[in-house]
Chains A and B, each alone.
Chain A
Amino acid sequence: MNINRRNFLKALGLTGVAVGAGKQLNAASVKKDSDKEFYGILYDSTRCAGCQGCEWECALQHGLPDPDIEDVPIVGEKRKTNENRRSVINVYDTSKGEVYVKNQCMHCNQPACASACLTQAMHKTEEGPVIWRDEKCMGCRYCMVSCPYDVPKFDYHSSNPDIQKCDMCWDRVKEGQLPACVEGCPADALTFGPRRELIAEARRRINENPDLYHDHIYGEHEAGGTGFLYLSPVPFEEIGFNTSIMNKPYPELTKGFLYSVPSIFVLWPAMLVGIQKATSGKNNQNDEDYE
């Protein structure tokens, strides 16, 4: 059966729809956030005494179970966040003695989790915190697959499971309050503020005390820049940081693929119609005529 006018127009129409859908896809991935500045938190591990006060404040603030009193940081044992705790302190034996490190969501400038989320449940707010929204999430756990820091945690033992992760106390930040861990830190190891100012502050501390600090602000460039910034007395691989994290934003890894989608949606149907037209009629004489 030769292609007729109607089929051709039909294919053409489909192409049009595809072009429209493709544009929308493109537009979203280059969407710029407004001119508001991202907030962040600077963690100075030279000041942290490992008291776990932040763990308690976090649990209290978010209605999570009280931390186990006997579960304290021990050298050689990596404590991890899970469905019941969003923030943990670990201790490492380094070339400059014991160093404490806080672990929680890094609040990337361009988070892999948010770009992975197909329902916008993971969301980078204009204020900077990356939040998770219960009513949108379908529990596919693609955020967990994508996050280079393995931050989002899933409650595997619930029939209505939530994703648990640090949200930088977004509810408090919106109302001008400090995140619970920052407010509760007795050692002043945590500083909350606009990310740009935090980087300036971190640089000032390094410059004033070059012997105390390792000359690197973790999070300034890692994963395209993160909201949580770290200062350390020793190189970061000594305190359990993943050194294979790349310096560009993770969503860029899928950009090439997503950008090719609209062009394939335009080219493929047109090409297929062309081939179909070119090949029809070749074998018609010895075959039954199927639709």
Chain B
Amino acid sequence: MSNPDIALTKEQGSKSTWKFLLGELKPRGKYFTPFNVISVPVIILGLVIIVIRFAKGLGAVTNLSQEVPWGLWIGFDVVTGVAFAGGAYVITFLVYILNMKKYQSIVRVTVLNGFLAYVFYAGALLLDLGKPWNVVNPIIGNSFGVSSVLFLVAWHFLLYMLAQLIEFSPAVAEWLGARRARKILAGMTIGAVIFGITLSTLHQSGLGALYLMAKEKIHPLWYSEFIPILFFVSSIFAGLSMVIFEGSISYKVFSSQISEKNHKSHHDIINGLAKICTITLYVYLFLQVLAFVHSKNWAYLNTRMGHWYLVEMIGFIIVPMVLFFYSYRKYNILLVKIASIITMLGVIINRLNVTVIGFKWDAAQHYYPSWKEIVVTLTVIFIEIWIFRWIINRMPVLRESPSWAKSH
């Protein structure tokens, strides 16, 4: 991120570039916040577990088996994490394609969140690979498995990370005071946005399409040829719920950075997003019903898995949909936040149902994540939040851009 080439043109004439960057690396703020006290031990423990994982193999830390080769690290970190990162393409669509300037103030923080989510959750994939040093094979060389959905997803992850980096790069340039670089990078935004939305459509659905070949392994209530479309539509409200949730925390934690004007407009933004969530949840519900009727799975409804399916459909789709609708009409921000949390839980449940809970549901031995898998997952999330906080405190993400960057 701290590219010295860009930094060469920065403003602070008195200090050297390197001194500036070194100074910026130092932590700011209090050391003993509740978050730090909890996250630091978890991160240290997680790093130890990661070392063991690479020294002794996946079996030493995970509960994965020959029957269940993908567990929490794929089902939650990658599949669910990427769904939550969907907010970035939805918000850039609203702002740059539909020209809804109302959402302009949350573009940067959402894109930053999306970018970090991809870096860390797709990065978590490396922990899960048996031979991570061969990860370049689908990208460079002569080993392109072009008929693979995973090949498509891998390329899209890579390209989308680049697109998001370009979308976010003006903030980096403003931090470094690189005027010329900012102008060039800002000019690339719209192209990156269009490219990024296209990539997102395909790999959000692609994550679902990964499971299409596991036809007999996934519980019939969660397997259908609609999986790719369901994953795509749910990534819209998953991403937006994350934006609402993350936004309400950021606006408290980083309150001092946010201008009076943006503080005021934030409620309008949340309310607008609630409306979009209502509509997409409704579309999603309709598609789920369609998939259910289409596959004639009535007989499964009155089984244990069937009850669990109904809990997901009613408790985590219909309930938040009604809540979003009601709170949007009444302009009840607290209720929107509650609905977004229920929606997020629903997305986690749905993704885990497809990838972990419903996968080999009829096997004698079920998969449960080990505590080590959970600690590593938390480590990944905590490190991401650390980096997020580091960037927010330095770059103009939530706070206003410097005055020179506004006029052009």
Contacts and interface: CB of A to CB of B under 8 A. Distances in A.
Interface of A: 3, 7, 10-11, 14, 18, 24-25, 28-29, 80, 82-83, 112, 115-121, 135-142, 144-146, 148, 150, 153-161, 242, 244-246, 250-251, 253-254, 256-258, 261, 264-265, 268-269, 272-273, 275-276, 279-283, 287-288, 290-291
B148 A142 contact: yes
A67 to B, nearest CB: 18
The 10 closest A-B pairs by CB, nearest first: A139-B130, A156-B59, A118-B151, A141-B69, A138-B134, A144-B69, A28-B146, A287-B101, A161-B130, A146-B213
Interface string B195-218: 101100110011001111111110
19 contacts: A10-B190, A11-B190, A25-B147, A29-B147, A117-B145, A118-B137, A119-B134, A120-B143, A140-B128, A142-B150, A144-B69, A145-B69, A145-B70, A145-B217, A150-B66, A157-B59, A254-B212, A257-B209, A287-B104
A115 B212 CA distance: 12
Contacts of A250: 213, 215
A82 B406 CA distance: 62
Given A144-B66, A148-B216, A251-B213, A120 B144 contact: yes
Contacts of B209: 254, 257-258
Most A Cβ at <10 Å: residue of B99, B132, B186, B206: B99
A269 B212 CA distance: 26
Contact of A291 (B129, B146, B189): B189
A120 B191 CA distance: 32
A80 B67 CA distance: 11
Interface of B: 54-60, 62, 64-67, 69-70, 93, 96-101, 104, 125, 128-132, 134-135, 137-138, 143-152, 154, 170, 186-187, 189-191, 194-195, 197-198, 201-202, 205-206, 209-217, 225, 228, 406, 408
A258 B214 CA distance: 16
B145 A159 contact: no
Contacts, number: 202
Contacts of A154: 58, 66, 69, 130
Contact of B99 (A253, A254, A273, A283): A283
Contacts of B128: 140
Most A Cβ at <10 Å: residue of B98, B125, B213: B213
Contact of A155 (B57, B98, B197, B206): B57
A158 B59 CA distance: 8
B129 to A, nearest CB: 5
B198 A264 contact: yes
A242 B217 CA distance: 11
Contact of A159 (B56, B70, B214): B56
A28 B151 CA distance: 13
A118 B101 contact: no
A291 B198 contact: no
A140 B210 CA distance: 12
B150 A116 contact: yes
Contact of B129 (A11, A140, A242): A140
Most A Cβ at <10 Å: residue of B131, B132, B137: B131
A257 B228 contact: yes
B146 A29 contact: yes
Contacts of A276: 96-97, 99, 190, 194
A279 B69 contact: no
A276 B310 CA distance: 40
Most B Cβ at <10 Å: residue of A11, A159, A273, A288: A159
A268 B99 contact: no
Given A11-B191, A159-B54, A244-B216, A258 B138 contact: no
Given A24-B146, A156-B58, A275-B97, A288 B134 contact: no
Contacts of A279: 97-99
Given A7-B191, A257-B228, A146 B214 contact: yes
B152 to A, nearest CB: 7
Given A138-B135, A139-B129, A258 B147 contact: yes
Most B Cβ at <10 Å: residue of A83, A256, A272: A272
A135 B101 CA distance: 51
B130 A265 contact: no
Nearest to B145: A118
A121 to B, nearest CB: 7
B236 to A, nearest CB: 15
A82 to B, nearest CB: 6
Contacts of B202: 261, 264-265
A115 B146 CA distance: 8
Contact of B154 (A24, A118, A290): A118
A237 to B, nearest CB: 14
A136 B151 CA distance: 13
B194 A11 contact: yes
A273 B194 contact: yes
A268 B69 contact: no
Given A145-B69, A148-B215, A276-B190, 11 more contacts: A116-B145, A116-B213, A118-B154, A136-B143, A161-B58, A161-B131, A264-B201, A265-B202, A269-B194, A275-B98, A287-B101
